[in-house]
């Protein structure tokens, strides 16, 4: 009987405890459906001037912006893809700042849709070292471009072949090969989504960029690409007095992204000139945080 009374007494205390001192878990902040990362291109002027070095990018991102995911651009360390001493230092600096290395954006390594087959194969080969570097740094992806001249159907066939080869190589390193709408035919969402469907590999996907659709409807473009998205690039250029992007309806864009059941990083890519790079990044972060 005593044990039963003690149990009931203790239960009463627990119940009272819940009533008067709720568990902190009940008030724990709800985890957001996306995390914010910073695309290095947002600071390209600062980097090109030499006021910021690639090696310091993770720490700067964490301390200046309170952002803990980074997206590198290969041209800021283009001669370091095979430099293990440098990559180890970069990895350690990111880790010590609590920063996740998310992806490497790869440019300047040739056209994956090149009409010259030898050049196309060389371009594919040129990307291997960046897959290896991304793997070492703990990234999940490299971003590539689907570029080439000729009829769109022909370019598509060549790009599909190149992406398939890269995806197979990336699979061994557990790296995704993702394509951004980045000018030319790749900025047509229907064309790029068709290419990715033809590739049909789990680790080959898209990096939809809010701003790189040009003559193609930007919202339709993101809708086209979201089924394949393994990242999202939140482009920004100009802001109004209320902190909205003047040319891109972020509420509409982020609803498209959320409705696609996307979970992962949304990368800030500020390219404007009205605000400084630092202020533009801060403005974009504040805008994105409305939708978390």
pLDDT, average across residues 69-73:
99
The model's pTM is 0.90
Token code pair at residue 191: 């064309």
* Average confidence score pLDDT of the chain: 92
Identify whether the C-beta of residue 190 lies closer than 8 Å to the C-beta of residue 228: no
Which pLDDT does position 252 carry in this prediction?
98
pLDDT, average across residues 279-290:
98
The pLDDT of residue 10 is above 80: no
Collect all residues with Cβ–Cβ distance below 8 Å to 241 and sequence separation of at least 6.
Answer: none
The pLDDT of residue 13 is above 90: no
Which pLDDT does position 245 carry in this prediction?
98
Which pLDDT does position 104 carry in this prediction?
99
* Model confidence pLDDT, tens digit, residues 19-56: 444 444 444 456 899 999 999 999 999 999 999 999 99
Collect all residues with Cβ–Cβ distance below 8 Å to 234 and sequence separation of at least 6.
Answer: 210, 250, 253, 266, 267, 268, 269, 284, 288
The pLDDT of residue 105 is above 70: yes
* H helices present in the chain, as ranges: 2-20, 44-49, 57-65, 84-96, 117-137, 152-172, 189-199, 218-225, 250-259, 277-289
Radius of gyration of the chain (CA): 23
pLDDT, average across residues 243-259:
98
Which pLDDT does position 246 carry in this prediction?
98
- Window from 13-17, 108-112, 162-166, 205-209 with minimum mean pLDDT: 13-17
Q: How confident is the model at residue 14 (pLDDT cuts 50, 70, 90)?
A: very low
Which pLDDT does position 8 carry in this prediction?
39
Which pLDDT does position 31 carry in this prediction?
84
pLDDT, average across residues 3-22:
43
Which pLDDT does position 29 carry in this prediction?
55
Q: Distance (Å, rounded) from C-alpha 98 to C-alpha 70?
A: 11
Which pLDDT does position 165 carry in this prediction?
98
């Amino acid at each position: 009987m005593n044990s039963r009374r003690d149990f009931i007494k203790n239960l009463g205390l627990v119940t009272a405890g819940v009533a008067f001192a709720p568990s902190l878990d009940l008030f724990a902040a709800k985890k957001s459906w996306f995390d914010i990362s910073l695309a290095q291109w947002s600071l390209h002027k600062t980097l090109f001037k030499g006021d910021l070095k690639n090696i310091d990018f993770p720490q700067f991102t964490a301390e200046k912006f309170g952002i803990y995911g980074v997206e590198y651009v290969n041209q800021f360390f283009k001669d370091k893809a095979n430099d293990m001493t440098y990559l180890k230092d970069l990895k350690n600096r990111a880790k010590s700042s609590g920063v996740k290395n998310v992806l490497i954006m790869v440019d300047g390594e040739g056209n994956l849709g090149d009409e010259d087959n030898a050049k196309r194969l060389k371009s594919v080969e040129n990307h291997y070292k960046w897959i290896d570097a991304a793997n070492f740094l703990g990234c999940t992806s490299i971003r590539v471009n689907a570029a080439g001249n000729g009829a769109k159907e022909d370019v598509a066939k060549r790009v599909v072949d190149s992406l398939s080869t890269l995806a197979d190589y990336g699979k061994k390193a557990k790296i995704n090969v993702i394509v951004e709408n980045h000018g030319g035919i790749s900025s047509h969402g229907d064309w790029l989504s068709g290419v990715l469907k033809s590739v049909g590999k789990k680790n080959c996907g898209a990096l939809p960029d809010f701003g790189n659709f040009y003559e193609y409807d930007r919202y339709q473009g993101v809708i086209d690409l979201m089924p394949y998205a393994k990242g999202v690039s939140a482009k920004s250029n100009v802001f109004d007095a209320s902190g909205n992007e003047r040319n891109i309806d972020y509420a509409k864009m982020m609803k498209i992204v959320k409705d696609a059941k996307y979970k992962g990083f949304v990368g800030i890519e500020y390219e404007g000139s009205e605000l400084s790079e630092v202020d533009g990044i801060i403005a974009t972060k504040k805008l994105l945080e409305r939708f978390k």
